[in-house]
Every structure is written in structure tokens, then in C-alpha cells.
Amino acid sequence: MTLLHLAAEEGTVQIIGFLLNSLKGHETILKSLLEATSYYKNQTALHLAAAGGYLDAVQWLVERGADVNAKSTSRQFSLRKTDQSALHWAAQENKWEVVQWLVEHGKANVEAADNDGRTVLHYAAQGAKLEVVQWLVEHGKANVEAADNDGRTVLHYAAQRAKLEVVQWLVEHGKANVEAADNDGRTVLHYAAQGAKLEVVQWLVEHGKANVEAADNDGRTVLHYAAQ
């Protein structure tokens, strides 16, 4: 981990500015420093600044040439390594201002997917507040129906994490498909029931009109999942 990484992780803009300004005229070295990754998660300084919500630091790094779509290597949600952009990190950590700036000014790719096929909106739906999800859909034009490699949509993730407000908004305003099924035939209601997310289950049935008789590829209904 370089001094730039440490400064970005703490959001110390003065040090970031000093380091970057000291390399004016040395573009090759500057590029190498901006692309350098940490040992543990292969994060660049931009990933660390975005995850920490340090907007000033993010702006400094991007404006000096940091790649907004560069991927880090992490095992954040699984045992497999997943490649995440700075926007993934900002979304999952609920750093709304950073999300907004990266999309509007950094031109970050909203539909960038990690190795498991999860987009920025997947991360926001399970880790962020409703405002981040709303902004990504309404202003970032993020695809509500995007599915990961296992066929799980953004709504599957929100239901599994009991994000009731996000579930409601995705269905009512994002027009997300309540009956979307993953590769194993499990609907959003299966995920909510498996996690004993009562409020989410009730809302999906009463307002989302989710099919309580839906069965997965092995014939297991929502009741089977609720009883596990």
C-alpha cells in the first residue's frame, strides 16, 4: 500500500494534492501510482476514497487521471473473488454524493458488473439507503431488471436483505418484476420467506400481489422456504 493509498483511505486531501502535484511532468510515474493496488483487496486509491465517501479525494484522483472503471478484487459477498469498480464501492457503502459525482462527472459505468454479474444497483439495493437506489434508477438510468450470473435481480437482493423501502420503491416506481425467478426458479418471495423477513413477505403478497404458490425448480413453495 502506497502513501497515496493511506491518504485516500483517510480522505486526507492535502496529502493527496501534494503527492499528485509533485508528479507534474512525470506522467508515467503518476499513472503507475494511480493504478497501483493494495495487497489485500487490490484496491486503487480511488476505490479507497470512494468507499470512504471522501468526495474531495475522489475528485482530485479522477481529475488527475484515475480510471473510474478500474476493478478491485474483493471477497465482500462471497468466497469467490469479485471485481468491483469505485462506483460499486460507493454504492454498497451508501456514499450518495460520491455515487452522484462519479456518474455525472466521472462518467462511471452504471451497468458495470462484477465477476458474479452484480451491477452497481445490486450493491446499492442490499447495502445502501433508498436515496441511492432512486438516484441510480432515475438519473443514472440503472437497469432495474439486471440479473446476476445466478439469475437474481436487484429485487431479489433487496428482499433477501429485508430492505422494505427499497422493495416497495422498486416495485411501485421502478416497475420491478415481483415474479422474477433466479436460475433455480426461486422468486423474490422465496428469498424473503427464507430469511423470515415478515414485513417484506407481507408487503409482497398484499401489495405486490406475489404468487404464494410459486414453486422453485425442485417443487418447493414459499411455505417450504419459510419453514426452513
Tell me what the pLDDT averaged over the chain comes to. 93
pTM of the model: 0.90
Distance, CA of 128 to CA of 88 (rounded, Å) = 11
- In what helix (H) or strand (E) does residue 28 lie, and over which residues does it extend? helix 27-35
Amino acid code (one letter) for 156:
H
Residue 108 is predicted with a pLDDT of 97
DSSP state of 187: B
pLDDT per residue over 170-228, tens digit each? 999 999 999 999 999 999 999 999 877 899 999 999 999 999 999 999 999 999 988 87
Domains, the chain, in order of start with CATH, read 147-228 (1.25.40.20)
Contact between residue 133 and residue 166 where contact means Cβ atoms under 8 Å apart? yes
Got the DSSP string for 63-90? HTT--TT--EEE-SSSSS-EEE-HHHHH
Contact between residue 150 and residue 127 where contact means Cβ atoms under 8 Å apart? no
Beta bridge partners of 55: none
